[in-house]
Amino acid sequence: MRITKIETAVIEANYDWTIVKVATDTGLVGWGEAFFAPGLTGVIREFREFLLGEDARDVDRLCRLMRTAMGAAGTSGMGFHAISGVEAALWDIVGKSANMPLYQFLGGKYRDRVRIYADCHAGHGLSSLSPVLLPRTPGWAKKQGQKKERWRKDLPARAELSTKFHGGQKSEAPSIRAQNYVRHAVEMKRRGFTALKFDVDVPSEYSLDDYNRTLTRKEIDLMAGLVGSLRKAIGKDVDLAIDCHWNYGVNDAIKLARACEAYDLLWLEDPVPPENTDALRRVTDATTTPIATGENHYQRHHFRELLEREAVDILAPDFQKTGGLLEGRRIADMAEVHYLAVAPHNISSPIGTMASVHLCAAIPNFLALEWHAASVPFFDDLVKGRRAPLIQKGYITLPEKPGLGIELDEQVAYKYRKHGEPFFDQPA
C-alpha cells in the first residue's frame, strides 16, 4: 500500500485549519489535520521527498523518518505540527484498509462517547486569528458582522507587535464583562455541555503594564469575581476551567490560583510561561486549584520533565501538535503512571477533532476534550458521512466506521479555503 500523494488545504476558520490528505496506490485516502503555523503546508510538502512510495501502514517508522528529517529544525514546534497531520492521515488509511475504526489501533475503547468541553473565550465569540495571531475577519465573518477583537492578550510580550495587539484596545466595564461571561456560560450549559473554559487574561483598566507579567490586586479581584459570577450562574453540576495563556509570573499566578480556590475550578491553565518547569511547579505546589498545561509541549520527551518534577495536575497535550496520535497515547500512558488525567487541547476542524476523539476513547485517564469552534458557523457542514451535528449534548459519539469515520466535504471546504494556499491538487 504505497503512498502516492500528500496534499494540503487550509480552511480559513477561527484559525487556519490545515488539512492533510494522503492518497495510496490502492485508492484509499486518509485525512489528518495539523495545528496551524506560518508556512506549515510548505513543511508538509517537503515530506513528499521521502514519504512517496513508502507503505502507508508503517506509521511509527514513517513518523521517525519525519522526525529525523526535521532534526535540524529542533525537537519541538511546527515540524511536529506537520508530523501530526500526516500521522493521523496514515492511521485513517490503516483503519480503512483493515475495515476497523481508528481507536482499535490505539488500544481499543474505554468509552462509547467522548466528553467535550466548550471553550468560551472571554465571553464573546472569538472571530478569527491569523497564523501569527493577529485578528482578521474572514469573508464568512464579515457576512456575520463580526468585528475584530482588539484586546487579545494571550501572547508573550513582543514590543514590535504591541501596537497592533494592544493599540486602541478597550477594556470592558467589569459589570458588562461579567454579564457577557454569564450569558455565554448559561447558553453553553443549555446546549448540554458539562464543562466550560473561559479566558480571564483580558485587559482591564487596573492593568499597569503589558509586559512585566504582574497583576494588580484589583485585576486579581476582577478575575476572581468573573470566576465567582460564572460559578454562581452554572452551579456545581457544570465544571469550570480558566485559561491564562502563559501571561503571568510565579507570585501573581499563585495569588490568582488561590483567589480562585473558593470556586472549585476543574483547572487553571497555563498561568506561567511554558519553558520553565520549576516555575510551574512552584505555582502547582502553592494552591489547591488544579494546574493544567501541555498545549505548547511536544512529544513524550517534553512531557517527561513536567511529570517527573510533578509540576502539573492535569496534562493538556494537543494531538495536532504532539507528533501524532500514537505519541499522544504514549504521553497519556506516562501521565497514567502519575495518576494524572489528560484533558487534550483542541482548536481543530471536525477532522482533527474526530482524530482526537478516537484517542480520547482509547486512553483510560481521559477527562474532557476541548471544542473551540462554537463561533464557526460551518463546522458541521465540513463533515461528510455523518449526521450533523457532531457534538450532541456535550458529547461526541465514537464512530464505528473504518478509520476516522468521517470524510471532509471538499466542496464545503473549498468555499472556505484560504486564498494563496494550495487546495489539495489545485495550486495556490
**Backbone dihedral region of 273: left (phi > 0), alpha (psi from -120 to 50 degrees) or beta?**
beta
CA distance 372 to 393: 15
Instruction: Give me the residue label for grid cell 471544542.
Output: 371
Q: Which residue has the cell 485525512?
A: 31
Of the two residues 21 and 184, which places its CB atom closer to Mg ion in the complex? 184
Cell triple for 94: 490503516
Sign of CA dihedral 390, 392, 395, 399: negative
Residue nearest to Mg ion (CB): 243
If the CB atoms of residues 239 and 243 are measured against Mg ion, the closer one turns out to be 243
Q: What would the x/- binding string for Mg ion be over residues 330 to 349, using CB under 5 A?
A: --------------------
The nearest distance, CB 82 to Mg ion, in angstroms, is 21
- In the list 16, 119, 243, 318, the residue contacting Mg ion (rule: CB under 5 A) is 243
- Candidate ranges 68-76, 235-243, 351-359, 414-422; the one touching Mg ion (CB under 5 A): 235-243
Give the shortest CB-370-to-Mg ion separation in angstroms: 8
Residue 12 binds Mg ion, judged by CB under 5 A: no
Angle at 293 between CA 303 and CA 365, to 5 degrees: 70
Instruction: Annotate 314-355 with DSSP letters as a single string.
Output: EE--BTTTSS-HHHHHHHHHHHHHTT-EE--B----HHHHHH
Q: How far is the CB of 293 from Mg ion (least distance, A)?
A: 9
The site string for Mg ion over 260-299 (x = CB under 5 A, - otherwise) reads ---------x------------------------------
The smaller minimum CB distance to Mg ion, of residues 219 and 243, is found at 243
Could you tell me if 367 and 344 are in contact, meaning their C-beta atoms sit under 8 angstroms apart? Answer: no
The residue (of 24 and 296) whose beta carbon lies closer to Mg ion is 296
> What is the spatial distance between Cα 396 and Cα 406, in angstroms, rounded to a whole number?
12
- Are the CB atoms for 289 and 242 separated by under 8 Å? no
DSSP class of 399 = P
Least distance from Mg ion to the Cβ atom of residue 37, Å: 16
Give me the least distance between CB of 366 and Mg ion, in Å please.
18
Q: What are phi and psi of 248, to 5 degrees?
A: -115, 165
Give the nearest distance from C-beta 152 to Mg ion in angstroms: 13
Shortest separation between residue 3's beta carbon and Mg ion, angstroms: 34
Name the residue type at position 319.
Answer: F
Question: Would you give the binding string for Mg ion spanning residues 357-396, x where CB under 5 A is met?
Answer: ----------------------------------------
The least distance separating Mg ion from the CB of residue 80, rounded to whole angstroms, comes to 17
Interacting span for Mg ion (CB under 5 A) from 19-27, 107-115, 242-250, 252-260: 242-250
Contact partners, residue 173, CB within 8 Å, separation at least 6: none
Contacts with Mg ion: how many residues (CB under 5 A)? 2
Amino acid sitting at position 73: A
Kindly list the residues in this chain that would bind Mg ion in the complex (CB under 5 A). Answer: 243, 269
